[in-house]
Amino acid sequence: MSTETESPQESPQARTQKLEGLGTRRKRVEDVRFTQGKGNYIDDLKLPNMLFGRFVRTPYGHAHVKSVNKDAALQVPGVKAVLTADDLKPLKLHWMPTLAGDVQAVLADEKVLFQGQEVAFVVAEDRYIAADAADLVEVEYEALSALVDPNQSMTSDAPILRDDLKDKVSGAHGPRKHHNHIFTWQVGDAAGTERALREAPIVVKERIVYQRVHPCPLETCGCVASMDKVNGHLTVWGTFQAPHAVRTVASLISGIPEHKIRLISPDIGGGFGNKVGVYPGYICSIVASIVLGVPVKWVEDRMENLQSTAFARDYHMTGEIAATAEGRITGLRCHVLADHGAFDACADPTKYPAGFFSICTGSYDIPVADITVDGVYTNKAPGGVAYRCSFRVTEASYFIERMIDVLARKLGMDPAEIRRRNLIRKDQFPYRSALGWEYDSGDYLTALDKALQAVGYTELREEQRRNREAFGRGATRTLMGIGVSFFTEIVGAGPIKNCDILGLGMFDSCEIRVHPTGSAIARLGTISQGQGHATTFAQILASEIGIPAADITVEEGDTDTAPYGLGTYGSRSTPVAGAATAMAGRKIRAKAQMIAAYLLEVHDDDLEWDVDRFRVKGAPERFKTMAELAFAAYNKVPPGMEPGLEAVSYYDPPNMTYPFGAYVCVVEVDVDTGVTEIRRFYALDDCGTRINPMIIEGQVHGGLTEALAIAMGQEMDYDELGNLKNASLLDFFLPTAVETPEWETDFTTTPSPHHPIGAKGVGESPNVGGVSAFSNAVNDAFAHLGLTHTQMPHDHWRVWKTAQRLGLTEA
Amino acid sequence: MAKTRIMLKVNNRDVETLAEPRMLLIHLLREQLGITGPHIGCDTSHCGACTVDMNGKSVKSCTVFAVQANGAQIITIEGLAAADGTLHPLQEAFREHHGLQCGFCTPGMITRAYRLLQENPHPSEAEIRFGISGNLCRCTGYQTIVRAIHAAAECMNSAKEAAE
């Protein structure tokens, strides 16, 4: 290896650039395979003798299963097995635990509770035969009345949905007050809030529904289970956002020791929360592989995905705000009726059955608040996942951002001005909210001012005033709406002291091995679904250990090789696994420093770090590069030191991180057709330290597009029988390039004080802040006519109905 | 079920195979021929993840029976790079402009853009947006895809001019 004098004397700037570390718009390493069709998604996997599984699903929303006859299906050539609940019973696998402390039927046990529920699992030689045979399974049902509206769940004559729970007076989250009740969760100061509401000169109340939607990643859920009967090893490849946690669950359910189970998440075609849960398809594939001794693949189709796996939201919120005449908020109360569907399969940390909904005081300095959430059962699919947001944070943000606009209307105050009066000031951080969260850092007023200035807010309002005048005299049939939203997220779950799932603390991890020639591999407990982890985590490490990002392989998703971690959702990868990566890197650097001191014959403290090397203080010509130190780690370590250069970090974050942002949306509404056009959308995000601005912008674009979908068109539309009327992409709104506007992105940078590199996470912010910006804009278009709130989604029909209700169009 | 013999050209390679009359082209490509670039994202021809080029037109291969492709010339994402391995300008541009995230829509999106730029070598932004509106992406918000297609068009046009 080279000696200290042989290394080229490049400038620190040139060497920094070469690393492609923090702050670099580094091109993604993943794209090389994806742009050539060489990704490895679950349905690409083909194993010898592999069979295909397909579910028989019920068309009923609520029914008794009187009989299941599989004889005809078994007669089809190529069919290997048909599993029903009766087949799973001896294995005690016909029910499985959910992530929320409830149980869910793997295959319907005497009853079906939502349309699309799994009744039988057909296993055949190919997917065509499996589909043929599934059609031949005869299931006899006795229809029961379906309960679809959560407002009717707890009426005295509501049908009993969960026969298995009917005598249970308490559930995983405390007492149940009705046979369709799941939990009540209360946080805050009820008496103090009541007093604030009673004494306030101004009180507004509004009912705000955040409709049921679906994450709908372009790739559906699926798996391949392969039981090696000789060695007793089970391998399952699948669309898992949390492979380690699923392995632990699989072990607990199946009784197979955890060391004999290997879970592998291959490339995942988008997750957005949809792939966090454990689904009957995984269990049935595993059982079928154990029974038949060959690999079994199950990949759901789009209708199955929309009907049965992990919906999001369905929060029915009633809010009250107390305020002074000047618009200072003095209290906030919220009651939520949460529709969890037929089984409580929400993916929330154990102690938070309503997730982090208590972030609903938002970005405002609200002295007292009181929230209560009642979870109820209905005849709809289970789920309640965090669709591109931290647990229930989008619901909370939408709630407060709509409520504060309602308050502004009542006071006749500008929506930007009322936010300015209530925003938490910079000198209040770290800020403890009335509902108990400690916001780590923020500079909200600066962000708001920058956003308002960037869009020319004053001029926009002036233009709107002229537009309304013109509309009033009949010169135009288009109304202009301006939506302002200022959001605070809570992400990066989370500190083990208050965050666990099924008892597993929500830390995350990184293990690094530096090779003798100065390249490295890092393995993490998270799993990318498009976020670009292989690119960005290498950047974090490059800046920490001075090895170019291009020389660092990042690997995730294989439970046999990656250190244990809780996976990727809730914007936790950067706040938690990113922190672990930096911390593991620092251990590497600390060891390298000792080796450098030994080689340079100085004391450790006489060395200083310089981009990619340690140099002697006061004698910069004497140094050792990381590449030199990597090699030395394998042959010239100080006496008594172990050789090698490896480190692992399991990072338990001291707090969550609190990204924030200010968004402005300008919309034009044609009152005669209800057609809306997003004229402008400006998004300012503060996610702390920025690792890769290109990827951040991409995340913001994508999150805004999902927010657009939710605000302007998505709704899982059930009829009174429990039929999901829009379970295909024909009817379920996913915006195309034509409906999607141009996005403007901007930023401020307020590092997190407790994160090793100050990063906060960004992937979900645009969804959290975006939905309310769109919705506020549509509501604002009609505000001068007395409208305070209309329910989402603001599709053309609903907008037209609003115009009609306000007397703007003929009936 | 009885199988039909079909012959087609996939990415410039002659293929002779047997397929059930009901087999979809996407399944023939993915499961019989091992061409897994085109993906399946829906069952209703809306998402475009399965887009391939058939006889000079973009088709959604989940809506074409394999037997309908008898005698056809098929190009998939795997066939876009030059014989020497040089990537197609679209493949380069998608990476350069961050036109993909999870990568699931990417093969269909690029294959569609490949045909779009032959139909219209100088598309406006609106024409690009309309031209790819049969392909859904859940990650990018399309802006960077539009930019990538635009950049690829410019690159291809200047290469063409240089050659003339």
Q: Please tell me the predicted confidence (pLDDT) of residue A249.
A: 87
Q: Please tell me the predicted confidence (pLDDT) of residue B1.
A: 74
Residue of A nearest to B140 (CA): A702
The tens digit of pLDDT for each residue in A219-254 reads 999 999 999 999 999 999 999 999 999 999 899 888
Identify the helix (H) or strand (E) that includes residue B117: helix B106-119
Q: Please tell me the predicted confidence (pLDDT) of residue A1.
A: 43
Could you give the residue ranges of the DSSP H alpha helices within A363-456? Answer: 393-411, 415-422, 444-455
What DSSP string runs through A99-162? Answer: TTS-EEESS--SEE-STT-EEEEEEESSHHHHHHHHHH-EEEEEE------GGGTTSTTPPP--
The tens digit of pLDDT for each residue in A480-518 reads 999 999 999 999 998 999 999 888 999 999 999 999 999
The tens digit of pLDDT for each residue in A452-480 reads 999 999 999 999 999 999 999 999 999 99
pLDDT surpassing 70 at residue A8: no
- The shortest C-alpha distance from A162 to chain B (Å) reads 32
Proportion of chain A above pLDDT 70, given as a percent = 99
- The listed CATH number (3.40.50.2300, 3.30.365.10, 2.40.110.20, 3.20.20.140) that belongs to domain A12-39+508-651: 3.30.365.10
Mean pLDDT value across residues A84-108: 95
Alpha-carbon distance A193 to A198, whole Å? Answer: 9
Whether B30 and chain A come into contact, CB under 8 Å, resolves to yes
Reported ipTM exceeds the 0.90 cut: yes
Chain B residues whose beta carbon lies within 8 Å of the beta carbon of residue A532: 101
**CB spacing of B101 vs A698 below 8 angstroms:** yes
Name residue A338's beta-bridge partners.
A315, A375
Tokens representing residue A320 in the block = 């009250």
Cβ-proximal residues to A446 (8 Å cutoff; 6+ apart), any chain: A426, A748
Alpha-carbon distance A490 to A412, whole Å? Answer: 31
pLDDT band at residue A810 under the 50/70/90 scheme? confident
Mean pLDDT value across residues A285-304: 97
Pairing state between β A500-501 and A504-505? antiparallel
- Looking at the domain B89-163, which fold is it? DNA polymerase; domain 1 (1.10.150)
Cα A312 vs. chain centroid, distance in angstroms? 10
Tell me the CATH architecture of domain A311-493+656-805. 2-Layer Sandwich (3.30)
Residue of A nearest to B127 (CA): A738
Domain residue spans in chain B?
4-79, 89-163
Chain B residues whose beta carbon lies within 8 Å of the beta carbon of residue A37: 35-38, 76-78, 107
Q: What are phi and psi of A311, to 5 degrees?
A: -75, 180
Alpha-carbon distance A725 to A719, whole Å? Answer: 7
**CATH code for A42-145+220-268+276-308?**
3.90.1170.50
pLDDT mean across residues, chain A: 96
Residues 68-127 in B contacting A (C-alpha not used; CB under 8 Å): 76-78, 81, 87, 91-92, 94-96, 98, 100-107, 110
Alpha-carbon distance A370 to A391, whole Å? Answer: 19
pLDDT surpassing 80 at residue A5: no
Chain B residues whose beta carbon lies within 8 Å of the beta carbon of residue A704: 141
Mean pLDDT value across residues B114-140: 98
A388 an active-site residue? Answer: yes
**CB spacing of B39 vs A127 below 8 angstroms:** no
Tokens representing residue B145 in the block = 């895809």
Find the CB nearest A41 among B39, B137, B139: B39
Residues of chain A with CATH 3.30.365.10: 12-39+508-651, 311-493+656-805
A307 an active-site residue? Answer: no
Give the C-alpha distances (Å, rounded to integers) separating B135 from A36, A162, B59. Answer: 17, 41, 11
Whether B10 and chain A come into contact, CB under 8 Å, resolves to no
| Listed residue (A407, A413, A319, A325) closest to A369, CA to CA | A319
**CB spacing of A37 vs B87 below 8 angstroms:** no
Out of A216, A346, A389, A510, the active site residue is A389
Mention the CATH class of domain B4-79: alpha beta
Whether A546 and chain B come into contact, CB under 8 Å, resolves to no
Mutation to test the B interface, candidates A32, A33, A35, A219, most B Cβ within 10 Å:
A35
The tens digit of pLDDT for each residue in B63-119 reads 999 999 999 999 999 999 999 999 999 999 999 999 999 999 999 999 999 999 999
Q: Which amino acid is at A746?
A: D
**CB spacing of A128 vs B20 below 8 angstroms:** yes
Whether B59 and chain A come into contact, CB under 8 Å, resolves to no
**CB spacing of B103 vs A301 below 8 angstroms:** no
| Listed residue (A274, A366, A353, A376) closest to A321, CA to CA | A366
Q: Please tell me the predicted confidence (pLDDT) of residue A4.
A: 46
pLDDT band at residue A570 under the 50/70/90 scheme? confident
The three-state secondary structure class of A633 is coil
Contact between residue A734 and residue B105 where contact means Cβ atoms under 8 Å apart = no
Residue of B nearest to A694 (CA): B98
The tens digit of pLDDT for each residue in A682-728 reads 999 999 999 999 999 999 999 999 999 999 999 999 999 999 999 99
Out of A15, A54, A333, A388, the active site residue is A388
**CB spacing of A32 vs B95 below 8 angstroms:** yes
Chain A residues whose beta carbon lies within 8 Å of the beta carbon of residue B107: 34, 37
What is the DSSP code (8-state) at residue A550?
G
Tokens representing residue A506 in the block = 């929500």
| Listed residue (A554, A565, A752) closest to A650, CA to CA | A565
Q: What is the pTM of this model?
A: 0.97
Chain A residues whose beta carbon lies within 8 Å of the beta carbon of residue B39: 41, 43, 218-219, 269
Q: Please tell me the predicted confidence (pLDDT) of residue A811.
A: 62
Pairing state between β A520-524 and A660-670? unpaired
Alpha-carbon distance A36 to B106, whole Å? Answer: 9
| Listed residue (A145, A307, A301, A281) closest to A212, CA to CA | A307
**CB spacing of B30 vs A44 below 8 angstroms:** yes
Whether A555 and chain B come into contact, CB under 8 Å, resolves to no
Proportion of chain A above pLDDT 90, given as a percent = 96
Q: Please tell me the predicted confidence (pLDDT) of residue B90.
A: 98
